[in-house]
Structure 1
Amino acid sequence: MSTTVFPPLRRDRRVHGWIMSAAVSQAGDMAWFVGLAWSAAQVTTPAGAGLVMGIGALPKALVLLYGGALADRFDGRRTMILANLARIVVLVVASIVVAVWGLSLAVLLTVAVVFGAVDALYTPASGTLPRRMVRSEDLVKLSAGSQLAQRLAIFAGAPLGGLLVAHGGLVTVMIADAASFAVIAVALAFLVKPRLPQPVSTGRSIRADLRDGFAYLKRDGRARTLVIAFSGLNLFVGPVLAVGLVQRTHVAGWGSAWFGWFEACSGIAAAAGAVVAMRWKPTDLARSGLLVLVVQAAGCAMIGVVPKYGVFVAMAMIGCTAGIASAQLSAAFQQSVDPAYLGRSFSIVNLSDEAIMPLAMTGFGALISVSSIPVACVLVGVLFATLVLWAAVRVNR
């Protein structure tokens, strides 16, 4: 009987190729995000620009569960390749339309909607790949390395997008993003080949597979706890950073430059946290990652009450713990969830970000309006800590 051979991670060209190509794609995505936002501001009202930037979440939310079921039914790697090719086609066609007929709100809305639907097919499929690529004990390093590379890509992609849209318009940004998708599609086709087979779902239909996915979470307590915890994490942190930090900076009169420095502090700390995660080897990844997030919850509460320089400490706490916990919890998720259900489980987690996050943002803003920034941040921090402590207690039952 043949035994699968896994090379040491530091010499694994397949993994290195995957991390680097994904980082290139992330840089292209960030450039596209900046270019899309700037272009929308040029052709429509602020309300229209907001619609362009947010409308992609709707098709993504509607298609995500279906995409997770497809990822478990068919080969995840091939699904990722096809999704990237679809993105390239959309961008090429859109760039031709813009070059011939000019930029319009209709074009931007169409591209945003199609991208949202394609992302819903790509994201769950990508979640099935790590388990098939490396040894179980290397999953934390793989996740941490991917995070580090993608954060660096975001730092590079944002100014790149601004430069491209300023000097070549949105068409130039589209071409650059299409090229980044071509890079990862080629890497997936010829270099990133999974070493382990993918278990496939055996339901009679996609709908049957979806029912079976929820039934699996009902009977597997550890997987269910991780899915609940994962689904709630960003719903607490996201509103504090996107709404609370902005409001605190504005109300205190510190100025937008300080907001940029706060965000930069968090990003640098997150990269440092990813490096720490590569070296730290706790005996229980799930429990360790969840308990680390108690520090992140404290940072969320601090944002509303500490003075200006204390916000840097809070952002460093949030960023560093995000880098550590994300790597540990991603690995624990890969290890804990039955491989046959990874796609559907990932789609449920991502659905919370797409479908519930807008409500969480709105609710947090309303909470600030009826109370105050300190009260809202402290309350969210307490609820966040309660969630992760509950999950840490239950995860091994």
Structure 2
Amino acid sequence: MKTLERTFQSLAVRNFRLFVLGQVLSATCTWMMVIAQDWLVLDLSGDSGTALGVVTAMQFTPVLLLTLYGGRLADRYDKRHLLVLANLAAAVLALALGAWVLIGEVRLWHIWLFALALGTVNSVEAPTRISFVGEMVGGELLPNASAMSAAYFNVARVVGPAVAGLLIARLGVGAVVLVNAVSYLATVVSVLMMRPAELHRAAVRPHRARVVDGLRHIRRRPDIMLPIALVGVLGLVGYTFQLTLPLLARTEFHTDPTAFGLLSSALAAGSLLAALVTTARRGRPTAAVVAGSALAFGALEAVTGLAPDLPAACVLLGLTGFAMMYFAQASNHRVQLGSDPLYRGRVMALYTLVFQGTTPLSALLAGRLAEHWGVRWVLCAGGLISLAAAGAALAAGPFIARLPAPEEPPEPSSRPADFRSGG
């Protein structure tokens, strides 16, 4: 019983509990739309890996260009207001795409435009949401709350693709996209129901919140830079599953949308188990934990590329998902718990930028290589490169640990926090 209480202790915080309830529904429907969108792109393009890569690249290019500015907004303005506006904008975009699909006039370039617009919204929403977790629960419960956030996200990744496969077969892509449009309101309602007085906000906040000051803070912290760099390498070559799984299902195993959903759900099930395991974490993980989990991920992804059939691929993807999420949580906790709360929005913006901003290049590269060499080669090569990067990080960890802790200069142009106006 005590173990169960420790696992879910952050849910005792009312604001965070509301947030999780809204996010579970919204994230589940978002994953349903991801599956529907990818399947539609493959239908329109004749199973083209390049076309699927272009859509993924269009969605994540704004993350590459705008996320640092999104972190600046998160440090300067009320995060609740930003989350409401971002989710309403995403709902309008999904509504427009769903209507377009139902009318029957959708083309590939329409989907590219939608992906670009949604990526622009996400460049603000992602750093705001990630840094807002600390405001909801405080520093002591941050590792547990972060792990719980990963848990609900992976519940959505398990349920969403499986449900999407069934709904696409029965109702079509357009209906799935419209369901997702409505689901964004769950997050809006949950955020509006929160009690602002119970949030853990900094006593002061920067008036200007310059991006360059956040980058200087990170530059002075090699213990933060190392996990961010490792996240960048794995994000570029290893986290290609949004592109490789639909290609694996259609070109290697020759299956239908339901089987595609099973592959995605297997990856998510392993990730969910890892997220639940990491709820037991009470402090900042070591550099060795971060690098060690990256080593396991690289090895498992490489072996997944050799899977002989669908059942074997599902089992290996479950193990890969566990290592992937364990690494993601370890790196997230090491970065968040090591950064000054005054800079946390900008620090997590850079983390998000490195984590997701590499996706455009990753998707285009993986799509091109999959067409010429096959999707199995993409998985094996990505795993081996991740393995090498993790080994280098493991070797560098002891040297960085011996470096003296830097002195932090005060943030320029700071003022007492007053979030009533959001300005």
TM-score by length of 1: 0.79
Deviation at 1:117, TM superposition (A): 0.8
Which residue in the other structure is 1:3 paired with? Answer: none
1:258-292 per-residue CA deviation (whole Å, 9 max, x = no partner) reads 98876654433322222222235577455433333
Paired residues for 1:28-39 under 5 Å: 28-39=29-40
AA of the residue aligned to 1:197: R
Whether 1:196 aligns to 2:197 is no
Paired residues for 1:169-180 under 5 Å: 169-180=172-183
Structure 2 gaps of 5+ residues are 1-7, 404-423
Whole-angstrom distance in 2 between the partners of 1:300 and 1:172: 33
- Is the CA contact 1:124–1:346 (under 8 Å) kept in the aligned structure 2? yes
Whole-angstrom distance in 2 between the partners of 1:192 and 1:291: 40
Is 321-330 or 232-241 further displaced after alignment?
A: 232-241
Whole-angstrom distance in 2 between the partners of 1:131 and 1:236: 30
| Aligned residue among 333, 344, 347 for 2:346 | 344
More helix by percentage: 1
Which residue in the other structure is 2:59 paired with? Answer: 56
Whether 1:114 aligns to 2:130 is no
- Is the CA contact 2:298–2:382 (under 8 Å) kept in the aligned structure 1? no
Paired residues for 1:1-397 under 5 Å: 8-41=9-42, 50=52, 51-95=54-98, 102-105=105-108, 107-191=110-194, 193=196, 195-198=199-202, 199-203=204-208, 209-239=210-240, 264-281=265-282, 284-303=285-304, 315-360=317-362, 373=377, 376=381, 379-390=384-395, 392-394=397-399, 396=401, 397=403
1:129-150 per-residue CA deviation (whole Å, 9 max, x = no partner) reads 1221224332222122222222
Whole-angstrom distance in 1 between the partners of 2:289 and 2:60: 32
1:361-387 per-residue CA deviation (whole Å, 9 max, x = no partner) reads 5667759959x9598367424413224
Deviation at 1:120, TM superposition (A): 0.8
Deviation at 1:247, TM superposition (A): 7.5
1:339-394 per-residue CA deviation (whole Å, 9 max, x = no partner) reads 22222222223323444334345667759959x95983674244132243145335
- Is the CA contact 1:43–1:103 (under 8 Å) kept in the aligned structure 2? no
- Change in Cα spacing, 1:11 to 1:107, as seen in structure 2 (3 Å) is same
Whole-angstrom distance in 1 between the partners of 2:231 and 2:279: 21
Coordinate RMSD, CA, aligned: 4.0
- Is the CA contact 1:65–1:348 (under 8 Å) kept in the aligned structure 2? yes
AA of the residue aligned to 1:210: V
Q: Secondary structure at the match of 1:200?
A: strand
Q: Secondary structure at the match of 2:231?
A: helix
TM-score by length of 2: 0.74
- Is the CA contact 1:222–1:394 (under 8 Å) kept in the aligned structure 2? no
Deviation at 1:29, TM superposition (A): 0.9
Is 79-88 or 211-220 further displaced after alignment?
A: 211-220
- Is the CA contact 1:290–1:389 (under 8 Å) kept in the aligned structure 2? yes
Is 217-226 or 298-307 further displaced after alignment?
A: 298-307
Deviation at 1:175, TM superposition (A): 2.9
Whole-angstrom distance in 2 between the partners of 1:66 and 1:346: 11
- Is the CA contact 1:141–1:277 (under 8 Å) kept in the aligned structure 2? yes
Deviation at 1:82, TM superposition (A): 0.8
- Is the CA contact 1:18–1:192 (under 8 Å) kept in the aligned structure 2? no
- Is the CA contact 1:244–1:304 (under 8 Å) kept in the aligned structure 2? no
Whole-angstrom distance in 2 between the partners of 1:265 and 1:59: 29
Deviation at 1:332, TM superposition (A): 2.5
